[in-house]
Amino acid sequence: MPSSMPCSRGARCSAYEGPTPSTHQLLPHEPLMDDLYRDYILDHYKQPRNFGELEPHDLEALEHNPLCGDELGVHIRVKDDRIEDLRFHGHGCAISQASASIASEELKGMELAEVGRLGADWMIELLGIPVSATRRKCALLNLKVVRGAVTGDHAWPA
Could you list the residues that contact other proteins (CB under 8 A)? 1, 3-13, 15-18, 23-26, 28-30, 32, 34, 36-37, 42, 67-71, 91-95, 97, 135, 138
- Compute the least distance from the CB of residue 140 to other proteins, in Å: 14
- Compute the least distance from the CB of residue 58 to other proteins, in Å: 28
* Residue nearer to other proteins on the CB measure, 17 or 125: 17
User: Residues with Cβ < 8 Å from 114, sequence gap 6 or more?
Assistant: none
Q: At what angle do helices 120-127 and 136-151 cross, to 10 degrees?
A: 130
- Compute the least distance from the CB of residue 105 to other proteins, in Å: 21
Distance CA 144, CA 65 (A): 10
- Residue-wise DSSP of 59-114: EEEEEEETTTTEEEEEEEEEETTEEEEEEEEEE--HHHHHHHHHHHHHHTT-BHHH
- Compute the least distance from the CB of residue 7 to other proteins, in Å: 4
* Residue nearer to other proteins on the CB measure, 4 or 152: 4
* Residue nearer to other proteins on the CB measure, 19 or 56: 19
